[in-house]
Amino acid sequence: MDRNTETKSMILKAFKKGYTPTAEELLQKLREAEPNFSRATLYRNLASFCENGKLKKVSVVGKTDRYELNTGCNYHLVCEVCGKIEDLEMAGAIKTPARLMDYEVHSHELMFYGVCPKCQKKRK
């Protein structure tokens, strides 16, 4: 399992730091080079890259999911206008309470992912 293919490296090569496309945006980009690039293959590979930790899927309420290189960073800046997502290095990022990395910040959301007490019990 997990063989090296031209298709897979094309996908990974497309990701550079700070590039957080939706699957369809990425497909469009890949089809510039390879007009028949398969949508199914792209989605399947994106999913598997997320499983093996090479990529990370980021979800913003009301928007299509985006993918990024998995840097291990769990802090993000989301532009509500253009949809872009950036990693946020917390150290030194805070400028004023409403300003982070020159973003004008309107709100934030902190999510903890885990297992609730009920499901912990059921699991045993």
Partner DNA sequence: ATAAATGCAAAGCCTTTGCTAATCT
Partner DNA sequence: AGATTAGCAAAGGCTTTGCATTTAT
Interface residue list for DNA (CB under 7 A): 1-8, 22-24, 34, 36-41, 43-45, 47, 64-65
Which one of residues 6, 40, 109, 124 is an interface residue with its own copies (CB under 8 A)? Answer: 109
Query: Which residues make Cβ contacts (< 8 Å) with residue 83, sequence separation at least 6?
Result: 60, 63, 66
State yes or no: residue 106 binds its own copies (CB under 8 A). Answer: yes
Decide the pairing of beta strands 85-87 and 66-69: unpaired
Query: Which residues make Cβ contacts (< 8 Å) with residue 39, sequence separation at least 6?
Result: 27
Report the alpha-carbon distance of residue 66 to residue 106 in Å, rounded.
21
Report the alpha-carbon distance of residue 58 to residue 74 in Å, rounded.
10
Site string for its own copies, 35-64 (x = CB under 8 A): ----------------------xxxxxx--
Residue 105 interacting entry, from its own copies, DNA, none, C-beta within 5 to 8 Å by type: its own copies
Residue 5 interacting entry, from DNA, its own copies, none, C-beta within 5 to 8 Å by type: DNA
Q: Residue 5 or residue 44: which is nearer to its own copies going by CB? A: 44
